Amino acid sequence: MPQRPRPHRPRKRSASPPARLVELTIDQVGARGDGIAALDGEAVFVPGTVAGDRVLARIEGRRGDGLIAALVEVLVPAEARAEPPCPHFGRCGGCTLQHMADSAYAEWKRGLLLAPLARLRLEADIQPLVRVPPGSRRRATFAFARHHGQVLAGFNARASHTVVDIGRCLLLEPALSALLPGLRTLLAPVVPEGGGDVTVTLTEGGLDVLVAAEARLDLFDRERLAAFAEAADLARLSWRRPDGGPPEPIARRRPALVHFGTVAVEPPPGAFLQPTRGGELAITERVMAAVGGLGPVADLFAGCGTFALPLAASGLTVHAVEGEEGPVRALDAAARHAGLAIVAEVRDLARRPLLADELRRFQAVVFDPPRAGAAAQAEQLAASGPAVVVAVSCNPATLARDLRVLVDGGYRIESLTPIDQFPYSAHLETVAVLRR
């Protein structure tokens, strides 16, 4: 009996190529903010570089279909290269592009939206990039680590759990950075060896602080935490254990209020807000202009009411849907206090999107999903959505995917507005207006 030929199996690439030094010319900056060069037919990703740089780099591993390398030296800098303004740049993983000249950076940022649209053959009128300046971020999640009785607090190093201890962050409202020394002193005797996160939000009532970490929190710890809230003049201080349970209130000295339009809301501790007030206003302005006087309107992935409350305050009836109960309670309380016509619903739209027959009563829909996008909801909108849909997204790739579904369902993209409220990073906010 003749032997069967052995099936051809492609040779597996080594998971860890041998470390070696190479000279590279950077061809472009990719969607993650890394410079990309070519070496023996493979892409090499080199953080901290810009297109046109000639560099010495050390191959350190593999990422996807390419290699990852560490920058050793810039041999010949490109014209697009600039001096980073922050002393922590290169160690802190919060920023990836401080080394890029401003004009090149703005062009690259706009390209984050252009590339996925082109891949999916989507054409649209793309508005000029709206830029929110550094120093205006009102919300940050700091990482901290306690080791041998000392606490480091700042941000994680790139692709690492190592905490980079920082002084002042150029992106943040100054009040957030100013809290770090006190947090280090506070956490050292309270948390065990290990680490956690601290989310700090600048509200109109003051700083709202949520610590997420394991700790026993006996009576003395609670007294220490409450005294810190008093001394630091916090609006609110809460604690959440890593098991994901509800936050435990420690001190509430004033309401941690924010305004969406003319309506005041007190979000639950750690709730999602747009990271900057300027970015939020730019997005809301475009949502309001697109919806106009069309009502009733559905606000999907509504959070605490960023869009639902201004829409309702303009006289529209709004159905707001959000997957988490805490934000819905905050939105509902604010709407009732202001006498607004909002029906708020807790519903996981990834698992249970509004169906075609539910969508028929709306004249406009606004949706602002997390980074994963709104694939299930987009399919229902494509089948039976209203005349106007406004999509707000922080991920150009999933936005393009959802827009493709909507366009295939009969919508036309009227406009796309990229909004950069994440300076020096590979994140980009976009407002898309669609009609049919």
Q: So which residues are the catalytic ones?
A: 394
Sheet containing 429-435: order of strands: 130-131, 412-420, 429-435, 388-393, 364-367, 297-300, 318-322, 342-346
Beta strand spans in 166-262 (E): 194-203, 206-212, 236-240, 248-252, 258-260
179 alpha carbon, distance to own chain's centre: 22
CA atoms within 13 A on the CB side of 43: 13
Query: How is residue 88 written in tokens?
Result: 């922590």
Query: How is residue 263 written in tokens?
Result: 């309506």
- First CA to last CA distance, the chain: 66
Distance from C-alpha of 80 to C-alpha of 148, rounded to nearest angstrom = 43
Partnered with residue 430 across adjacent β-strands are 393, 418
Longest dimension (CA), the chain: 88
Cα 234 to Cα 199, 226, 260: the distances in Å are 13, 10, 21
Closest by CA position to 390, among listed 363, 371, 367, 411:
367
Distance from C-alpha of 422 to C-alpha of 131, rounded to nearest angstrom = 9
Distance from C-alpha of 221 to C-alpha of 148, rounded to nearest angstrom = 19
